[in-house]
Amino acid sequence: MRRVIIGIGGVTNGGKTTLTRRLIAALPNCCVVHQDDFFKPPDQIEVGEDGFKQWDVITSIDMEAMVNTVTAWVENPVKFARSHGIAGSHPYEQQEDDEIQILILEGFLLYNHKPLAEMCSRRYYLTIPYEECKLRRSGRNYRVPDPPGLFDGHVWPMYLKHRQEMEDQGVAFVSIDGLLSKDDIFNQVYTDVCNKILNIS
């Protein structure tokens, strides 16, 4: 049984979740782990020097729990999918030993945590410009609403900081233009996955 982990990272509101949903529907034996599911409780999120709760930093996420979850998938993808109720593209019945199992990791700070980044067979990174990102963010309804000034005072500066850190660490990734149409983004990534990963014996 071959195991493939695909990372879908990038800027907030860059199209990660939309792309992930389409990949899950198109790829065989595929399930997903969302980084957002590992946010710590609000009372554990510190207030930074910028005056905002630090939601957009790696310490706001329980990365140990996320890595443990991914490790559990690696050890037994079929059992993991069943026990976690994670929907695959079709039922996990009568799997052949040579079949491929795919896990998609989706999140905004996947590649700033070295153990998690190294687990990925392929890393994709969606980017959009400041103006578009701010426009999309303002149209979203979050469980914890954005306080005034959060985007310019915390979200965007942290994105730039973490992207620079990722690049300084030499993390290899495929950059995806988030301004492309949803179809173009999906086709680019899906074709790359098929050519670079799924066709390798």
The angle that helices 16-26 and 182-193 make with each other, rounded to 10 degrees, is 50
Amino acid at site 101: Q
Residue 97 has pLDDT above 60, yes or no: no
Phi first, then psi: give them for residue 180, nearest 5 degrees: -65, 165
> Cβ neighbours of residue 166 under 8 Å, at least 6 residues apart?
111, 112, 173
What is residue 80's predicted lDDT score, i.e. its pLDDT? 85
Q: Is the dihedral of CA 105, 30, 140, 64 positive or negative?
A: negative
What is residue 82's predicted lDDT score, i.e. its pLDDT? 79
Residue 84 has pLDDT above 90, yes or no: no
For the segment 88-106, the average pLDDT, to the nearest whole number, is 66
What is residue 28's predicted lDDT score, i.e. its pLDDT? 85
What is residue 57's predicted lDDT score, i.e. its pLDDT? 93
- Distance CA(3)–CA(75), nearest Å, equals 10
- Distance CA(93)–CA(184), nearest Å, equals 33
Among candidate residues 76, 68, 67, the one with its CA nearest the CA of residue 1: 76
- Distance CA(44)–CA(113), nearest Å, equals 20
3-state helix, strand, coil in the chain (%, to 5): 50, 15, 35
What is residue 90's predicted lDDT score, i.e. its pLDDT? 45
Q: Which helix (H) or strand (E) holds 32?
A: strand 30-34
Active-site residue flag, 36: yes
**Residues 141-192: tens digit of each pLDDT:** 777 778 899 999 999 999 999 999 999 999 999 999 999 999 999 999 999 9
What is residue 85's predicted lDDT score, i.e. its pLDDT? 59
All domains in the chain, ordered by first residue: 2-197 (3.40.50.300)
Among candidate residues 44, 43, 41, 155, the one with its CA nearest the CA of residue 109: 155
Residue 200 has pLDDT above 70, yes or no: no
Q: Give the active site residue among 36, 37, 56, 97.
A: 36
**Residues 29-71: tens digit of each pLDDT:** 888 999 999 999 999 999 999 899 999 999 999 999 999 999 9
Residue 14 has pLDDT above 60, yes or no: yes
What does pTM read for this prediction?
A: 0.89
What is residue 78's predicted lDDT score, i.e. its pLDDT? 84
Residue 88 has pLDDT above 50, yes or no: no
Residue 76 has pLDDT above 80, yes or no: yes
Between residues 162 and 90, the one the model is more confident about: 162
**Residues 111-150: tens digit of each pLDDT:** 999 999 999 999 999 999 999 999 999 888 777 778 899 9
Reduced to 3 states, what is the DSSP secondary structure of residue 4?
strand
- Distance CA(25)–CA(49), nearest Å, equals 42
Reduced to 3 states, what is the DSSP secondary structure of residue 23?
helix
